[in-house]
Amino acid sequence: MTSYGSYRQLRLAPQRSGVSKALAKDSPLWRLDWILLLAALALSAGSSLLVWSATRGRDSLTHGDPQYFLYRHLTNFVVGLVLCSVVIAIGSRRFRTIVPFLYVGVLLMLLATLSPLGSTINGAHSWIQLGGGFSIQPAEFAKLAIVLAMAVVLSDQVDAGEREFPSHRAVFRGLLWAGLPMGIVLLMPDAGSVMVMAAIVLGILLGSGAANRWVLGLLVAGTAGCVAIWKFGLLSQYQIDRFAAFANPQLDPNGVGYNTAQARIAIGSGGLTGKGLFHGTQTVGQFVPEQQTDFVFTVAGEELGFVGALAIIALVGVILWRACRIARQATDLYGTIVAAGVIAWLSFQAFENIGMCLGIMPVAGIPLPFVSYGGSSMFANWRTVGFLGGVRTRRPRGVGAGVVGGPAGEFPGRPRRRVRGVPAAGGAAVRRPGSRSGRARPSARSAG
């Protein structure tokens, strides 16, 4: 029975305000990965100077306003932050229920690009003009739709406790969900985005615990598809020229190999510390095409040198490192798959973009995450940060330090997943549900 004194203390206890709740130690705000957020903020904020340096002297693009691209890039940055905050506020659990509607919306946007509403830029009919100089590239949103759709399909039975690993049927359905937007993007044609989507699918299969035969089958099918596309002439001429220039950099340095040649000259001339911001001769001379988007890394290499280029790579590495931690510490398979898809997405895209600037990868219209100019790319990148934050904030307090749920790395609400083929306690071999093999064997101790 509650005493009168304790009742008075309970009634007289002050109510916490909204700000106090947000700043309290049990608030989801404290469970955000601030290292991840700061690394993404540093990339996006620092890239504003790179975009400004690459465009301030291009009067044909800026319409006489040197700050034209700077203001637009900062606007995209702020909008991306708002989208990130909205995703975190909604939460991954509630967002999971509206994934089908988002998927259908992205498909409609992709189909709209193939209609008269779409426009062609750099050989790909993958843009929708909104007027006022604004446009969107639905392929960037399709990458996120693939991550979320496959996460829902593959984790449904596992998170419900019905299975230990995704079933073959779930994997097949997930590949269908991913294949539909990839097929539409391939019709544009936007081979660069398809390459990123294929990397996302591969990363999700590896992170979900699906059977290895699906991963091997996907690699074989992808190789056979590339051979068939090349053999039957399904690539556009500009795409063939890009691969030819990659195979032989000296093929036509003033033609198909011009972009890569000028990019390597810009990066190589930067030296250790660079020529100084706004003082790059290749940048000021406008020798590198598309320098504010696909080749923005060359600005850092020339004007900030090896130190500046290494700083960008290091910040991208920090983002991937924190995403790996979030994937490992997720409390359900859905969160693990979302994080795995984001890791595959950002890592492949960053490697391809930096690689083509260095001449070790073929040229493709793939932006550098959080750095390249472009609203669609910036919005999609920051929403991935929001989803990573949503997965992270679902963890209970104390998780990761070994004080909740046992040793570090084990979390309540997520059953321990055994490795296939490894004997469990008592000597019984763990058999995957639905498999035809794996009869339990008694151990030496139980047999004795």
pLDDT number for residue 128? 87
Q: Which residue has the higher pLDDT, 159 or 266?
A: 266
Strand extents, DSSP E, 24-183:
118-121, 124-131, 134-136
pLDDT digits (tens, 9 = 90+) for 342-386: 999 999 999 999 999 998 888 888 999 999 998 899 999 999 999
Task: Write the CA distances from 180 to 117, 145, 322, 340, integer angstroms.
Answer: 20, 11, 31, 21
Task: Write the CA distances from 86 to 82, 288, 332, 386, integer angstroms.
Answer: 6, 37, 22, 8
pLDDT number for residue 255? 78
User: Rounded to the nearest 5°, which phi and psi values hold at 362?
Assistant: -70, 150
pLDDT digits (tens, 9 = 90+) for 72-83: 999 999 999 999
Mean pLDDT, rounded, for 88-94: 84
Q: Which among 374, 319, 326 has a CA at the least distance from the CA of 347?
A: 319
- Amino acid symbol at 384: T
Question: CB–CB of 43/316 below 8 Å?
Answer: yes
Residue 203 has pLDDT above 50, yes or no: yes
> How far is 341 from 324, CA to CA, in rounded Å?
11
Residue 445 has pLDDT above 50, yes or no: no
Assign 424 to helix, strand or coil. Answer: coil
Residue 21 has pLDDT above 90, yes or no: no
Residue 110 has pLDDT above 60, yes or no: yes
Using 50, 70 and 90 to split pLDDT, how confident is the model at 17?
low
Residue 6 has pLDDT above 90, yes or no: no
pLDDT number for residue 161? 84
pLDDT number for residue 81? 95
Mutual angle of helices 99-113 and 138-159, in 10-degree steps: 150
Mean pLDDT, rounded, for 205-231: 87
Residue 244 has pLDDT above 80, yes or no: no
Other Cβ atoms less than 10 A from the Cβ of 345: the count is 25
Other Cβ atoms less than 10 A from the Cβ of 422: the count is 8
User: Rounded to the nearest 5°, which phi and psi values hold at 103?
Assistant: -65, -45
> How far is 40 from 46, CA to CA, in rounded Å?
10
Q: Which residue has the higher pLDDT, 3 or 139?
A: 139
Residue 155 has pLDDT above 50, yes or no: yes
Residue 279 has pLDDT above 50, yes or no: yes
> How far is 347 from 360, CA to CA, in rounded Å?
16
Using 50, 70 and 90 to split pLDDT, how confident is the model at 163?
confident
Assign 311 to helix, strand or coil. Answer: helix
- Kindly give, in sequence order, each residue whose CB lies less than 8 Å from that of residue 83, ignoring residues fewer than 6 positions away: 379, 382, 383, 386
Paired strand residues for 124: 121
How high is the mean pLDDT of the chain? 81
Mean pLDDT, rounded, for 149-167: 90
Using 50, 70 and 90 to split pLDDT, how confident is the model at 433?
very low
